[in-house]
Amino acid sequence: MYMARKLMILLLGLLSTAAWAQTDTTIIIRAVTGLKYDPPRLVIQPGRQLRLILKNDDDMAHNLVITKPNSRLRVVEFALALGDKGAQQHYVPNMDEVLAHTRIVEPGHADTLTIKLTDGEYPFVCTYPGHGYVMYGMLYVTRDPKRLPPADRDPNLPNAAPNAHASHTTAPAHPYALTFPAMYRTFMPDCGPAAIAVGLPAVNGGPQQSYCWDAGSCRLRYAWSGGFVDNNEHWSGKGQLLTKVVGEIFYREKTGFPWRIGSSDTVPEPRFLGYRLVSRYPEFRYRVGDIDVRELIRPVVNGRGFVRQFTLSPSQQALTFLTGTNDGMRYKASVGKLAGNKLILPPGTRQFTLTMTAL
């Protein structure tokens, strides 16, 4: 069916004039997570044959119904009123306000509608039960697209303005002002999925610094200065998109898990045990072998870098901590000997600091 139509279009295209081809507009629109169409706004010229392909990239079934201007909610309510007849007619009510529609499209599938429209604002909407109040968009048929409002301030679109562009708005993120140190467990880039972002207070008029700590592999992953994070995309919708780093990344860990126990070169498997807040600074706790490790990270007083304070449970085993090499940082330890990237701790060490400063 689809192939046949494609072939027909091809044949028509060959047989007819170039002008015919110009009047045909093909647009692919996707149904995506969060009950959204991507893009939510379509702009075409009047009088053209629109071939609209709905691709369903979501995990739920969707359709796409183009309605007469100002008729979206009416169509949605009539679709809901279909009751048990809904499914067999793809949740599309028989009414004049429906101008064109796809079938119900299962996840991973696609369907196509064609329509020719004159000037106007035509809503499109998913009439699958429960979706219609959230999942919609606007098809503008106009010769003058410049007169349309910017997409993020288009009152005809769902969620116009807020989340994705929250940096331009003054909407608070929380019912309180964020106090530094501040932390979020969230999805961070370049980290395992159990990530923790920590924003530190600026010291001595220096830059604000932040870091990403991986609660899966129990290690500092990277650090940046000049800001904390932007969670807006992660918070809006269902939570697939990552929280963004705000600022410039000046350090990336490339060594892997830093601890070695005894003389063995085997990389031990740590287990995350949580954290406590010390004047709002998180002190992470994890177990390596039978050793309990705590790590508290403070900003250095001058420039970019951290003072990492480690506290260890009693152990007779020799412990080695691997710092990075050629990672743009200078390392200094309060205890033990730093040879190359190996900090060898004297047996019985219970506490030490590792100061790392950007070169």
Task: Assess 43 for contact with other proteins (CB under 8 A).
Answer: no
Task: Assess 57 for contact with other proteins (CB under 8 A).
Answer: yes
d(CA 86, CA 132): 14
d(CA 191, CA 245): 12
Task: Assess 192 for contact with other proteins (CB under 8 A).
Answer: yes
Query: CB under 8 A: which stretch of 40-48, 128-136, 291-299, 335-343 binds other proteins?
Result: 128-136
In sequence order, the β-bridge partners of residue 196 are: 185, 213
Which of the residues 252 through 291 are near other proteins (CB under 8 A)? 272-277
Task: Assess 34 for contact with other proteins (CB under 8 A).
Answer: yes
Task: Assess 346 for contact with other proteins (CB under 8 A).
Answer: no
Provide the sign of the torsion angle of the four alpha carbons 223, 229, 233, 235, taken in this order: positive
Q: Is 101 helix (H, G, I), strand (E, B) or coil?
A: strand
Which of the residues 71 through 100 are near other proteins (CB under 8 A)? 77, 83-84, 86-88
Query: CB under 8 A: which stretch of 130-138, 262-270, 327-335, 336-344 binds other proteins?
Result: 130-138
Tokens for 335, please give them: 């205890």
Task: Assess 47 for contact with other proteins (CB under 8 A).
Answer: no
d(CA 117, CA 46): 6
Query: CB under 8 A: which stretch of 111-119, 143-151, 184-192, 319-327 binds other proteins?
Result: 184-192
Query: CB under 8 A: which stretch of 40-48, 167-175, 255-263, 294-302 binds other proteins?
Result: 167-175
Nearest to 236 by CA among 39, 29, 35: 35
**How many residues does this entry show for the chain?**
359
DSSP per residue, 301-317: SSSSEEEEEEEE----S
Span between the terminal Cα atoms of the chain, in Å: 65
Task: Assess 240 for contact with other proteins (CB under 8 A).
Answer: yes
Task: Assess 201 for contact with other proteins (CB under 8 A).
Answer: no
C-beta neighbour count of 177 within 10 angstroms:
8
Near other proteins by CB under 8 A: residue from 68, 154, 158, 184? 184
Task: Assess 347 for contact with other proteins (CB under 8 A).
Answer: no
- To other proteins, the closest distance from the beta carbon of 23 in angstroms equals 34
d(CA 282, CA 284): 6
Near other proteins by CB under 8 A: residue from 118, 146, 174, 339? 174
Near other proteins by CB under 8 A: residue from 194, 291, 300, 338? 194
d(CA 172, CA 137): 27
Query: CB under 8 A: which stretch of 41-49, 222-230, 231-239, 307-315 binds other proteins?
Result: 231-239
Task: Assess 186 for contact with other proteins (CB under 8 A).
Answer: yes
Of 57 and 248, nearer to other proteins (C-beta) is 57
Sheet holding 41-44, edge to edge: 41-44, 136-141, 120-125, 65-67, 98-101
Query: CB under 8 A: which stretch of 6-14, 39-47, 59-67, 147-155 binds other proteins?
Result: 59-67
Site string for other proteins, 97-116 (x = CB under 8 A): ---------xxx--------
E strands, 161-231, where?
182-186, 195-199, 209-214, 219-225, 229-230
Task: Assess 170 for contact with other proteins (CB under 8 A).
Answer: no
Q: What phi and psi values does residue 197 have, to the nearest 5 degrees?
A: -105, 130
Query: CB under 8 A: which stretch of 2-10, 19-27, 40-48, 175-183 binds other proteins?
Result: 175-183
Q: Residue 21 belongs to what H/E stretch?
A: helix 18-22
Provide the sign of the torsion angle of the four alpha carbons 88, 94, 97, 100, taken in this order: positive
- To other proteins, the closest distance from the beta carbon of 59 in angstroms equals 4
Of 56 and 349, nearer to other proteins (C-beta) is 56
Chain residues in the site for other proteins (CB under 8 A): 32-35, 57-61, 77, 83-84, 86-88, 106-108, 129-131, 133-134, 172-176, 182-187, 191-194, 215-216, 231, 235-240, 272-277
